[in-house]
Amino acid sequence: MNTVVITYLIYLLISVALTAWVGRTLYKNGALFLVDVFKGNKELAGAVNHLLVVGFYLINLGYVTLTLRISDAPETAQAAIESLSLKVGAVLIVLGILHLGNVFVFNRLRTRATEMRRPQRPPVAPSGQWIPGDAGSYSQAPMPPA
Amino acid sequence: MESLTVLYDSSCSLCQWATRWLDSRQQLVTMYFVPAGSAEAHMLFPNLDHTRTLEDITVVADDGSIYEGERAWVMCLWCLRGYRRLAERMATPALMPSVKRVVATVSRYRPHEDACMEDRCGI
């Protein structure tokens, strides 16, 4: 058990714990967004949430394991901590980007889904009214001078 | 509101471009584009003041409500998917005066060849 292996183990411990924590946050809070997007259909929302979170875990754990290897074996505790900080820092940033990306996607889904649900009245009052018919009633305020 | 008709100045290249652009977007309310003052416009809206529709862009909704000038522009945006929220924001008291100014300026300086020939453009 040399310093490298210990560093690797600490790295994995921290990274996996962080990934799990962020994943759970996403799962719990994303559920609320999705229930709204799918108009109260809790089963469908739960299914989509689960699928998205699985994707999240796959990408993140994949990144964590891919970047595990340290090229220069640290000889001292200080060097080990420095290597760790670089690796864990990179993992955190990737986690952050994916997490915010997910939140952005959830929000877009929800905005699109609820866009048409609000009562749809024209935002401006008409300038006049045209009434079809031979009477030809047509009232419109006179145009202001150009 | 299921549909509306946009009566635009067909001699104005800016209007033509704008109507082509509107037509190319995804619409929440079906938009029909008819040149103002044309035979088709007369047929669709008999008794409408067609001379007036030539002065500024006019939109007639399927419920008969007429929107002119900057209101017409707001309605055009309101019909497009993805632009409805923008249109609603533009219609607020905070933004509407600016919208009105921009539309009035564009309307005064837009290129409309025959209108100038017939001394209708008011410039």
pLDDT of residue A144: 45
Does residue A45 have a pLDDT over 70? yes
Query: A126 and B69 in contact by Cβ < 8 A?
Result: no
Q: If you average pLDDT over residues A14-36, what whole number do you get?
A: 91
Do residues B15 and B110 touch, judged by C-beta distance below 8 A? yes
Facing B66 at nearest CB: one of A130, A132, A133:
A130
Do residues A8 and A71 touch, judged by C-beta distance below 8 A? no
**How close A111 comes to chain B (CA, Å)?**
10
pLDDT of residue B55: 82
Residue B112, SS3 per DSSP: strand
Banded model confidence at residue B5, pLDDT cuts 50, 70, 90: very high
Query: A116 and B60 in contact by Cβ < 8 A?
Result: no
Residue A32, CA distances (Å) to A12, A64, A112, B86 in order = 31, 28, 16, 26
Residue of B nearest to A111 (CA): B82
Contacts A–B by Cβ distance under 8 A: 71
B-chain residues near A120 (CB < 8 A): 1
Banded model confidence at residue B122, pLDDT cuts 50, 70, 90: very low
A-chain residues near B66 (CB < 8 A): 126-130, 140
pLDDT digits (tens, 9 = 90+) for B75-115: 999 999 888 888 989 998 889 888 888 888 887 777 665 55
The interface pTM score, or ipTM, of the predicted complex is: 0.74
Query: A140 and B52 in contact by Cβ < 8 A?
Result: yes
Query: B1 and A128 in contact by Cβ < 8 A?
Result: no
B-chain residues near A139 (CB < 8 A): none
pLDDT of residue A9: 93
Q: Which of A124, A134, A143 to mutate to test the interface with B (most CBs of B within 10 A)?
A: A124
Banded model confidence at residue A20, pLDDT cuts 50, 70, 90: very high
pLDDT digits (tens, 9 = 90+) for A104-146: 888 888 887 777 666 678 888 888 888 776 434 444 554 444 4
Query: A127 and B67 in contact by Cβ < 8 A?
Result: yes
**How close A143 comes to chain B (CA, Å)?**
9
Percent of chain B with pLDDT over 90: 32
State the helix-helix crossing angle for B69-78 and B96-109, rounded to 10 degrees: 110
Tell me which of B110 and A49 has the higher pLDDT: A49
Query: B69 and A127 in contact by Cβ < 8 A?
Result: yes
Tell me which of A110 and A43 has the higher pLDDT: A43
Does residue A54 have a pLDDT over 90? yes
Query: B71 and A124 in contact by Cβ < 8 A?
Result: yes
What average pLDDT does chain A have? Answer: 84
